[in-house]
């Protein structure tokens, strides 16, 4: 079972999200320019001058709960923890938990890729989870799964 001190820190979660949303270098979500200035966690595009934050142009732009709590709800959802237990674990209301579960479901990728032939496998370990990623050689087809435990 996940305990509070096993949760990634707010900073770590932000780092994961930045990596997922932007890759190695932050770019402008409007014009995709990489000429970005950073000031106290906010970004500004030097080309089209818009200001943005890590999540402002993602489906998490309206997030109102702390990221650690959000991580916990996501973790519960991935592990298929029932709503009631998720409420107890996160301290969130039934409405909130249900809303997040619906949101996660709504943002699942539309198609699942079935990979063929030669694939490259890679895995990343989090405290007690493993993220497995596979890429079909010579294509951009990716598949991934999150498993509980670190001995997969």
Q: Interface residues with Zn ion (CB under 5 A)? A: 28, 30-31, 33, 45, 47-48
Question: Measured from the CB of residue 17, what is the shortest distance to Zn ion in angstroms?
Answer: 20
Cβ closest to Zn ion, residue 33 vs residue 120: 33
* CB half-sphere exposure, 48, CA atoms < 13 A: 11
- Identify which of residues 27 and 144 has a Cβ nearer to Zn ion in the complex: 27
Q: Which is nearer to Zn ion, 6 or 33 (CB)?
A: 33
Pair of tokens at residue 91: 């301290």
Classified as helix, coil or strand, 47 is: coil
If the CB atoms of residues 34 and 99 are measured against Zn ion, the closer one turns out to be 34
CB 45 to Zn ion: min, Å = 3
CA 54 to chain centre: 12
Query: How many Cβ atoms from other residues are within 10 Å of residue 73's Cβ?
Result: 23
Token code pair at residue 67: 């990221």
User: Shortest distance, CB of residue 33 to Zn ion, whole angstroms?
Assistant: 5
The kind and range of the H/E element at 43 are strand 42-45
How many Å apart are CA 149 and CA 152, to the nearest integer?
7
**Smallest distance, Zn ion to C-beta of residue 116, A:** 38
């Amino acid at each position: 079972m996940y305990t509070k001190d096993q949760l990634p820190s707010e900073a770590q979660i932000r780092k994961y999200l930045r990596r997922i949303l932007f890759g190695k270098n932050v770019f402008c979500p409007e014009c995709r320019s990489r000429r970005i200035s950073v000031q106290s966690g906010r970004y500004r595009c030097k080309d089209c001058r818009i200001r943005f934050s890590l999540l402002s142009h993602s489906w998490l732009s309206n997030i109102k709960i702390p990221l650690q709590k959000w991580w916990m709800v996501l973790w519960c959802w991935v592990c298929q923890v029932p709503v009631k237990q998720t409420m107890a674990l996160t301290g969130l209301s039934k409405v909130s938990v249900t809303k997040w579960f619906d949101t996660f479901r709504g943002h699942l990728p539309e198609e699942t890729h079935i990979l063929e032939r030669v694939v490259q496998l890679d895995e990343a370990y989090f405290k007690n989870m493993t993220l497995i990623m596979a890429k079909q050689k010579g294509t951009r087809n990716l598949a991934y799964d999150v498993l509980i435990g670190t001995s997969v």
